[in-house]
Amino acid sequence: MIPPGAVIGMLGGGQLGRMTALAARSMGYRVHVLDPDAACATSPVADRCVAARFDDVDAAVEMARHCDVVTLEIEQIATSVLDAVATRAPTRPNSAVIGVVQDRARQKTWLEQHGFPIGAYRSVTSPGDIADAVAAFGECVVKSCRGGYDGRGQTRVAAAAAAGDAWRAVGERHAVAERALTLAAELSVMVARRPGGEMRVYPIALNHHERQALSWSLIPAPLPKPLLQQAAGIGRGIAEKLGVEGLIAAELFLTDSGDLYVNELAPRPHNSFHATERACVTSQFEQLTRAVCDLPLGDTGVLRPGAIVNLFGDLWSNSAPAFAEALRDPRVRLHLYGKPGPRPGRKMGHLSAIGGSALDALAAARTAAAHIGAPTQDVPSSVRELLA
């Protein structure tokens, strides 16, 4: 056990690191962070910030020398860095977990080998491979194996003749071509696991994406109990098989035929579980602190349903948003990440709300977002059919 008062090292200083640091500090921990940007979102709430690239072994080891445990908020950390850091302080999750997750082809192979449900896909290394995948599957989503998030590094291709354009769109590098699925809903499951194996599963989140980025999310997903149990079982199984120490989120696709498939894994806090700060007994950020410090895990039960709406840099295009308008409803809370330089598509913060039901909380958050010029799409008809 690593008791309060100790130092937690954080690899990555984005908004997830910031929110985790705030939770850790409230428990009495000190926080050191490594990030390429000295003015990263976590730096104002950290005790120390080391400005260095994520593949800088020496800088990471130097940071770890002053830490009692090290964790991360982004999976794009070189495994060589994680191995070197682990010689100085317990590193949770470890490089074996990150090595699986940070490469999409390796991740899909691992999921397939361990019996978790995934959609049809092929590993592709050329335009010809993409054309073959389209011939076999029909329309495909091509995703670069490394890097990319919120739709970056991926593209759709419906015809073999467009394979060259798709190859260029993903940077002419190793990628996966996935059969395009007809979705009824997108879900996610979050599991916390201590080094000794104790696990806690959060209620399933229901998510909606716009422009390939998460727009809103609500918890708990108001879906049939057998489906939620299946999703939770998938998450628990992945955490156990991977031997995760910390958090693991699994993004799930629910097809219109009722099948669940794993889309991607994230061994860190996840945007779709930000509502746990309002909705659950223990937020995902406090839970990460507990898990990596080997403290007893907190209750993941829902106190009151909650929802979030993401705020993107587009809102700042003319002037700062009138945030007071978003707070007309006393159930709504504003969360800003302290990022400099807002730009279109960049996550700058979110609004959260609670309500009598998850859909009520979502309506409150969406209304608040509309008050500041950030309208969002309503619950899709495919999801409403599931809720009926």
Pick from 381, 170, 353: which is nearest to 279 by CA? 353
Q: Do the domain assignments include residue 196?
A: yes
- Decide: 151 and 212 in contact? Cβ < 8 Å: yes
- Tell which wins on pLDDT, 97 or 378: 97
At residue 176, the pLDDT reads 97
Does 191 score more than 70 pLDDT? Answer: yes
Does 384 score more than 90 pLDDT? Answer: no
- Is 164 in the same domain as 52? no
Sign of torsion over alpha carbons 88, 93, 96, 100? negative
- Is 158 in the same domain as 195? no
C-alpha–C-alpha distance, residues 66 and 198, integer Å: 28
- Is 210 in the same domain as 175? no
Q: Do the domain assignments include residue 105?
A: no
At residue 380, the pLDDT reads 86
Q: Which residue(s) pair with 302 in the sheet?
A: 280
Average pLDDT, the chain: 95
- Read off the pLDDT band of 148 (50, 70, 90): low
What is the average per-residue pLDDT within 263-275? 97
CATH code of 23's domain? 3.40.50.20
pLDDT digits (tens, 9 = 90+) for 109-124: 999 999 999 999 999 9
Torsion of CA 22, 23, 28, 30, to 10 degrees: -50
- Is 72 in the same domain as 124? no
- Read off the pLDDT band of 385 (50, 70, 90): confident
What is the average per-residue pLDDT within 117-143? 96
- Is 79 in the same domain as 168? no
- Is 264 in the same domain as 360? yes
At residue 341, the pLDDT reads 84
CATH code of 140's domain? 3.30.1490.20
- Is 325 in the same domain as 225? yes
Q: Do the domain assignments include residue 110?
A: no
Q: Do the domain assignments include residue 217?
A: yes
- Is 326 in the same domain as 201? yes
Could you give the number of structural domains in the chain? 3
At residue 156, the pLDDT reads 94
Strand order in the sheet with 154-157: 121-124, 175-179, 140-144, 154-157
pLDDT digits (tens, 9 = 90+) for 286-329: 999 999 999 999 999 999 999 999 999 999 988 889 999 999 99
Does 106 score more than 70 pLDDT? Answer: yes
Q: What is the 3-class SS of the chain, one letter each residue?
A: CCCCCCEEEEECCCHHHHHHHHHHHHCCCEEEEEECCCCCCCHHHCCEEEECCCCCHHHHHHHHCCCCEEEECCCCCCHHHHHHHHCCCCECCCHHHHHHHCCHHHHHHHHHHCCCCCCCEEEECCHHHHHHHHHHHCCEEEEECCCCCCCCCEEEECCHHHHHHHHHHCCCCCEEEEECCCEEEEEEEEEEECCCCCEEECCCEEEEEECCEEEEEEECCCCCHHHHHHHHHHHHHHHHHHCCCEEEEEEEEEECCCCEEEEEEECCCCHHHCCHHHHECCCHHHHHHHHHCCCCCCCCCECCCEEEEEEEHHHHCCCCCCHHHHCCCCCEEEEECCCCCCCCCCEEEEEEEECCCHHHHHHHHHHHHHHCCCCCCCCCHHHHHHHC
Tell me the whole-structure pTM to 2 decimals. 0.95
Express as a percent the part of the chain with pLDDT over 90.
Answer: 91
- Is 159 in the same domain as 284? no
Chosen domain end from 141, 163, 179: 179
Q: Do the domain assignments include residue 27?
A: yes
What is the average per-residue pLDDT within 26-45? 97
At residue 149, the pLDDT reads 65
Chosen domain end from 38, 71, 91: 91
What is the average per-residue pLDDT within 180-188? 96
> Cis peptide before 330, with omega less than 30 degrees from 0?
no
At residue 98, the pLDDT reads 97
Which pair of structure tokens corresponds to residue 75? 């999976």
- Is 376 in the same domain as 283? yes
Does 151 score more than 70 pLDDT? Answer: no
- Is 163 in the same domain as 270? no
- Decide: 120 and 179 in contact? Cβ < 8 Å: yes
CATH code of 255's domain? 3.30.470.20
Q: Do the domain assignments include residue 22?
A: yes
At residue 263, the pLDDT reads 97
Q: Do the domain assignments include residue 96?
A: no
- Read off the pLDDT band of 279 (50, 70, 90): very high
At residue 178, the pLDDT reads 97
- Is 299 in the same domain as 201? yes
Domain interval for residue 36 = 7-91
CA angle 289, 242, 192 (to 5 degrees): 30
At residue 375, the pLDDT reads 86
Sign of torsion over alpha carbons 85, 91, 95, 100? negative
